[in-house]
Amino acid sequence: MTVLLVSGAAFAATMIGGLFAIRFRDRLHLVLGFSAGAVVGVALFDLLPEAISAGKDSPQRIALFVALGFLAYLLVDRLLLLHPQADGHHHHHHAPRGALGAATLSLHSVLDGVAIGVGYQASPAVGLIVAAAVLTHDFSDGINTVGFILKDGGGWRRALPWLALDATAPVIGAASTLFFRIPESALGPVMALFAGSFLYLGASDLIPESQHAHPRAATTLMTLLGAAVIYAAVRAVG
């Protein structure tokens, strides 16, 4: 029951963050700047350290999975998504970038819920620490999910279903751990894969887009703020 209550709090934190992004969508470049810093911060300060300490994988093996996550997302982005053609127009091939970014965050949120459940399987104290870490960046997850959709040209009506999916994802992940146990040996590589994909999302998508045709000083400060918030949150519960 505690696991489901904590995952419900993660749902609320994600929804609040997403609604914040929708409310201030007229300042989207600042929201995107913060999102970029938060995405990179989650990868560097949260996922990567957890991947290294999660199991018995060597740093070299973890680095390999980070690279695989980065390069796999690059291939999907370059081969399947929205790109300019020779006539100067854009065409949709399969799914837009915003939807893929939001889907990646939602899948990551499922793993957040799984991490909460696995933590409580270990002990209530470990579960509480993991839950606190998840809650601290779920607010940013909501902002990031909405930011991806709005940046891709979608309105708030398109963003809300993705936000609801991302907010529900940790509840699903946490509930799943009531029925089976996750092998600890798999946690490190999985989190490393997500760290690599988040680095790609932040560095190649959100940061350039946030600074496009906008004052770079303000958006750069927001990017640094996003990373600093995640760093402070992780240190506070670490």
pLDDT of residue 126: 63
pLDDT of residue 86: 38
pLDDT of residue 1: 60
pLDDT of residue 214: 62
Tokens of 185: 């040996």
Biggest CA-to-CA distance, the chain: 59
Beta carbons of 112 and 173 less than 8 angstroms apart: yes
E strand intervals along 36-143: 83-84, 90-91
Q: Using CB atoms within 10 Å of the CB of residue 64, give its burial: 0 to 12 exposed, 13 to 18 middle, 19+ buried.
A: middle
> Residue 72 is which amino acid?
A
pTM for the model? 0.66
Q: Look at residues 1, 2, 5, 9 and name the one whose alpha carbon lies nearest to residue 167.
A: 9
pLDDT of residue 184: 74
- Divide the 238 residues of the chain into consecutive groups of 10 and give the mean pLDDT of each group: 80 84 73 81 85 82 94 78 43 58 80 79 70 69 79 76 88 86 78 86 72 73 89 78
Question: ∠ at Cα 98 (50, 29), nearest 5°?
Answer: 90
pLDDT of residue 135: 73
Q: How many residues does the chain have?
A: 238
Beta carbons of 222 and 63 less than 8 angstroms apart: no
Cα(71)–Cα(223) distance, rounded to whole angstroms? 23
pLDDT of residue 88: 41
Tokens of 37: 């810093």
Cα(119)–Cα(117) distance, rounded to whole angstroms? 5
